Structure 1
């Protein structure tokens, strides 16, 4: 679906540029965009490498385990259908810990691994389970203490105060996480009541 949307945007942009006689502007914009993408990508490589290195240091120093111990009771409450000793729970806790520390690039593969392991617990393989929906919601709106990637982008674009978004990010992600948890539980309970009504009618 995303390919269709991006394809439509590109084709409509080319059509409008051709109709208005601004193909030269479109061409210049394409080249400038490609150049900026390369420049930003190279700038982010150092930031990502730094934070991935910090992730390794945090893991070896025991910081990740400490965060995981704090997160574990919360994870049990969020994912009641996942057995505590199942590998999925370990991946879920690692994903949450990486997101809290602002290591989104490390959190993504952990989230994919957790999703794959949750699928092994899923009874309906063609339908996302409650735990899978919760993971998707929380991974998208995760509480972040250190927005490392955004600080790196602000550094790349010569911000006068790159770390000035830390408090705002913490507040915004706290609100987003709270909303995600509330809506996840709300729709989960509503779906459970709907299934119960269906079963009662069938009985």
Structure 2
């Protein structure tokens, strides 16, 4: 990937030199770097708040109550996970972070969920069906309110930054249901 970025940057510099727009290229380069830093700090704030909230939920024991509320849904998907296993808590936190469009905050929670799921794995180094289901849920990232995207759109002055809520919800639901349907179909075929 680094090679690709190097090629793109090199080609851009060559074109800027040959078209006589090196000054505009340099200005755009610095403006892009400034925007990247601003957005990174903005997203860092969102991630920090969410991780703080999840820590409070975990320390207070409220996450176990939330996990209990999600249990009927999760038990249909994750049939081989014991009711009191810590992977359910990690999966619940990951799903909640994704529901609120905080994909960056969901990443460490997803890693924790995979580690917990691997603790149930008898054949270490291979992926289990439950891990596949979790990967689909995490990747599809069903979002009720995509806070990060709304925040970025608002920061860039979009007229209606919340206008993406319904399309994002529909797209993430369709992708999750489609992927889960394919996974369960293949499981039935290959049994």
Same fold (TM over 0.5): yes
Q: Residue 95 of structure 1 aligns with which residue?
A: 94
1:11 aligned residue = 6
Q: Distance in 1 between matches of 2:75 and 2:120?
A: 15
Mapped contact 1:67–1:97 kept (Cα < 8 A): no
Corresponding position of 1:132: 131
Scaled by the length of structure 1, the TM-score of the pair is 0.75
Alignment of 1:70-85 (within 5 A): 70-85=69-84
Pairing of 1:31-70 with structure 2 (within 5 A): 31-49=30-48, 51=50, 67-70=66-69
Q: 1:186 to 1:149 in 2, by over 3 A?
A: same
Structure 2 vs 1, CA of residues 7 and 57 (structure 1 numbering), >3 Å: closer, same or farther? closer
Is the 1:68–1:93 Cα contact (8 Å) retained in structure 2? yes
Q: 1:29 to 1:138 in 2, by over 3 A?
A: same
**Separation (CA, whole Å) in 1 of partners of 2:152 and 2:111:** 25
Instruction: Please tell me the root mean square deviation across aligned C-alpha atoms, in Å.
Output: 2.9
> Does 2:161 match 1:166?
no
Q: Distance in 1 between matches of 2:151 and 2:43?
A: 6
Q: TM-score, normalised by structure 2?
A: 0.79
Looking at structure 2, the residues matched to 147 and 86 of structure 1 have their Cα atoms a distance apart, in angstroms, of: 29
Deviation readout 1:125-180 (Å, 9 max, x if unpaired) = 22211111111111011221111111111111111222221222221211122112
**Unmatched 5+ residue regions in structure 1?**
1-5, 194-203
Worse-superposed segment, 119-128 or 144-153:
119-128
Gaps of 5+ in 2: none
Partner Cα separation in structure 2 for residue 108 and residue 138 of structure 1: 12
Per the TM alignment, residue 72 of structure 1 is displaced from its structure 2 partner at its CA by 0.8
Aligned residues: 186
